């Protein structure tokens, strides 16, 4: 077992080379997402794996302008769920939390396979629903952009995106989010 190595290797790269999409790859990623824990084992996550070149091209219309780099992806995975499919305990609504866990598992598996799986929020859920036929009652949470990390920098990246490509964006120090025994405000 070396989960730690995979976690440290994962990056949200934006310079992408194509990768062959096979049924086996889709099943492999889906089987890892499937094993995520969820409230009452409700498994609220839903995924559309978009890899047909024509469908993929249609999905480019749903990307925000800052995500032009994602047009180089070989597969876009639309991730969606609805509140009724998972626990709601007073003000605690769990479907997006559980979907996040399954996406985490999928992303780590993709990383282990040598791929880039980059979740984005910069997209139009409305256009995504229209293009993919996803009913209105579902919330489209993210698109996962899949490809292989290219050695050469994508020419469409902004300055900030180019520098993020070379060096992992900084994380908060542990003492900003870890509390021992009791919460303390800084």
Ligand X SMILES: Cc1cc2nc3c(=O)[nH]c(=O)nc-3n(C[C@H](O)[C@H](O)[C@H](O)COP(=O)(O)O)c2cc1C
Chain residues that interact with ligand X, rule: CB under 6 A: 11-12, 14, 67, 119-122, 142, 164, 168-169
The label of the residue with tokens 């900084």 reads: 170
- Identify how many contiguous H helices and E strands the chain contains and give both numbers: 7, 7
Q: Phi and psi dihedrals of 31, rounded to 5?
A: -70, -30
**Closest distance between ligand X and the C-beta of residue 24, in Å?**
26
Q: Which is nearer to ligand X, 8 or 31 (CB)?
A: 8
How far apart, in whole angstroms, are the C-alpha atoms of residue 102 and residue 22? 21
**Closest distance between ligand X and the C-beta of residue 128, in Å?**
13
**Closest distance between ligand X and the C-beta of residue 165, in Å?**
9
**Closest distance between ligand X and the C-beta of residue 166, in Å?**
11
Q: Which is nearer to ligand X, 12 or 39 (CB)?
A: 12
Please, is 20 exposed, middle or buried when counting C-beta atoms within 10 Å of its C-beta (0-12, 13-18, 19+)?
exposed
Nearest to 17 by CA among 168, 153, 156: 153
How far separated are the first and last CA of the chain, in Å rounded? 37
Q: In b/e form, how buried is each residue of 72-88, taking b as 16+ CB within 10 angstroms?
A: bbbbbbbbbbeeebbbe
Q: Which residue is nearest to ligand X (CB)?
A: 122
Q: Which is nearer to ligand X, 74 or 142 (CB)?
A: 142
Q: Which is nearer to ligand X, 25 or 79 (CB)?
A: 79
Q: Which is nearer to ligand X, 88 or 121 (CB)?
A: 121
**Closest distance between ligand X and the C-beta of residue 180, in Å?**
25
Maximum CA extent, the chain:
54
């Amino acid at each position: 077992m070396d989960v730690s190595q995979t976690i440290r290797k994962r990056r949200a790269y934006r310079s992408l080379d194509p990768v062959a999409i096979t049924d086996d790859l889709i099943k492999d990623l889906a089987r890892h997402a499937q094993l995520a824990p969820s409230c009452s084992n409700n498994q609220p996550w839903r995924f559309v794996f978009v890899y047909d070149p024509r469908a993929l091209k249609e999905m480019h219309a749903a990307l925000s302008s800052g995500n032009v780099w994602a047009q180089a992806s070989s597969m876009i995975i639309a991730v969606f769920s609805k509140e009724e499919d998972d626990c709601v305990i007073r003000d605690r609504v769990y479907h997006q939390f559980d979907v996040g866990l399954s996406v985490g598992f999928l992303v780590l598996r993709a990383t282990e396979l040598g791929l880039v799986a980059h979740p984005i929020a910069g997209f139009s859920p409305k256009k995504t629903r229209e293009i993919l036929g996803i009913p209105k009652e579902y919330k489209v949470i993210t698109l996962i952009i899949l490809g292989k990390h290219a050695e050469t920098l994508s020419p469409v990246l902004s300055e900030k995106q180019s520098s993020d490509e070379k060096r992992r964006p900084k994380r908060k120090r542990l003492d900003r989010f870890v509390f021992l025994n009791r919460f303390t405000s800084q």
